[in-house]
Amino acid sequence: MPYRSVNPATGEVLKTFAEHTDQEMMNALTVADEAFASWASCPIEERARIISGAAQLLIERQSELAKLATLEMGKRIAESRGEIQLSAAILKYFAEHAAKFLAPKPFESAVGDARLEFSALGVLLSIQPWNYPYYQLARFVGPHLMSGNVMLLKHAPGVPQCALAFEQVLRDAGLPNGVYTNLFLSNDQAGTLIDDPRVKAIALTGSERAGEVLASRAGKNLKKSTMELGGSDAFIVLDDADLDHAIAMAVLGRFGNNGQTCIGAKRFIVLESVLNKFLLGFTEAARSLKLGDPMDESVTLGPLSSDGALQLILRQISDATAHGAQVVLGGHRSGKVGAFLEPTIITNVTPDNPAYKQEFFGPVALIFPARDEGDAIAIANDSPFGLGGSVYSTDIERAKRVASRMDTGMVFINYPDVSWPDLPFGGIKRSGYGKELSNLGLEEFVNKKLILVPTISASN
């Protein structure tokens, strides 16, 4: 697949980039492998200085970096700036906290003096998506460079300028050659890297299909992997919810990032007693969104990332309605230029409808009525995905009880989703496995080595 920078608001091809050759790829792997020993032995204070410097450069270059993200994948310019600020916060967090996370830890044992030590694995291969072209990199780079690993990065073909700009930030911050290398690769080339014994672990954020292929290949090679895949998060509105707040959060959760968020709210499960009022308010709020050029500060909904993404979701909508679903708002392409989709709300999605268990990666909300709290939980859990979810209630303890019964990796109360450096991020079921961010994310790609001084006698 060619690496092309295309403005989804206009369809204009901005730049194209050739894929790296097999020889260039293997040369990069050799350089990374050779760089590992010196980077892993580099004092953590020096690693922190470099990563903290990269965080500062992200902020200093915020304007130009934000423009690139908006041009390449259509994110609203304000959201692009916010993504860069979050990315900088992640790098800064791990620069400041990795030493504590990596310090040897006493381990309670009845048989002696035990402790865990943490050490880097080596060369990591990371494959990342287009929807958050800087944040996705930062949440991998922050913990795993600080732990002493080195990495090869295959970014999505649609955001090559963002990929190169992020790599340049790290280089300008003083990261040694070979410690982080961006590569424009085909899927087959990525598979070749997984097979190479010098690559020690693999991380993917992407689709279920990609997850199946890469997890299988990693497993065949007996290599550690983490998978952050799709999501179809439930947004449960209980009968005691503050509906004005819930509606505002529904708009944020579904239409933020133009609806292209793995952890975005997608299935709105509303108790029947408040359904009509919620649906009326949500529909009016969605109808009032201003669709247009994402560079325009007044625009509140931009395009999908590509024409291909638009055509896919139009087919999903058509298939859903062919199986009895009803479109109460939107459902069509907007205009003839750009990958714009009207904000869309769909009801009457029954369990036999293919849409019932699909992920809609765009500004499409599915509405489900629930008889009561138990029914809402059952509908929420009747999904192949288990990334995140949210619960809306003025009774926080009640909301927590509902959250505890949801089969997901994350649940948020009265807010659609939160990603922050000190919070673990990850899902279950077909949303993948493993954690990112926080100390849990850092520990995914380190050797947790037990060192024991036994106190038991040989006779025992």
224-280 residue pLDDT tens: 999 999 999 999 999 999 999 999 999 999 999 999 999 999 999 999 999 999 999
| Catalytic, out of 79, 83, 167, 228 | 228
Does residue 1 carry a pLDDT above 70?
A: no
Could you give the 3-state DSSP secondary structure of residue 270? strand
DSSP state of 373: H
* Amino acid code (one letter) for 386: G
E strands, 312-401, are 326-329, 344-347, 364-370, 385-386, 389-392
**74-78-84 Cα angle (round to 5):** 90
Question: If you ran DSSP here, which 8-state letter would residue 301 be given?
Answer: B
pLDDT exceeds 90 at position 460: no
β-bridge pairing 199-205 and 180-183: unpaired
**What pLDDT sits at residue 459?**
56
Residue 392 in this model has a pLDDT that exceeds 80: yes
CA nearest neighbour of 315 among 276, 354, 269:
354
Evaluate if residue 418 carries a pLDDT over 60.
yes
Domain range annotation of the chain: 3-229+431-451, 233-413
Contact present, 266 and 365 (Cβ < 8 Å): yes
Mean pLDDT in residue range 376-402: 98
CATH number of this structure's domain 233-413: 3.40.309.10
* Residue in 83, 262, 359, 444 annotated catalytic: 262
Considering only CA atoms, give the Rg of the chain: 23
pTM: 0.97
pLDDT above 90 coverage of the chain, percent: 98
Mean pLDDT for 50-78 is: 98
What per-residue confidence (pLDDT) applies to 53? Answer: 98
For the beta carbon of residue 118, count every other beta carbon within 10 angstroms. 18
Q: Answer yes or no: are the C-beta atoms of 20 and 31 closer than 8 Å.
A: no
**Average pLDDT estimate for 351-370:** 98
> Do 263 and 240 meet the contact criterion of CB atoms below 8 Å apart?
no
For residue 457, what pLDDT is reported? 73
Which whole number is the average pLDDT over 108-116?
95
Question: In the β-sheet with 446-454, what is the strand arrangement from edge to edge?
Answer: 105-107, 112-120, 446-454
State the average pLDDT for the chain.
97
Question: Is residue 262 annotated as part of the catalytic site, yes or no?
Answer: yes
Decide: 446 and 112 in contact? Cβ < 8 Å. Answer: no
Q: Which CATH class is domain 3-229+431-451?
A: alpha beta
Report DSSP state, residue 360: -
Percentage of residues in the chain having pLDDT higher than 70: 99
Mean pLDDT value across residues 383-397: 98
Report the C-alpha gap between 293 and 304 in whole angstroms: 11
148 pLDDT more than 60: yes
How far is 430 from 427, CA to CA, in rounded Å? 8
Tokens of 350: 């029954």
Q: Cβ(252)–Cβ(353) under 8 Å?
A: no
Sign of the alpha-carbon dihedral angle for 392, 398, 404, 405: negative
For residue range 342-356, what is the model confidence (pLDDT) as tens digits?
999 999 999 999 999
Q: What is the pLDDT of residue 2?
A: 81
Residue 35 has pLDDT above 60, yes or no: yes
- Do β-strands 428-429 and 385-386 pair in parallel, antiparallel, or remain unpaired? antiparallel
In this prediction, residue 456 carries a pLDDT of 82
pLDDT at residue 458 is higher than 60: no
Mean pLDDT of 378-388: 98
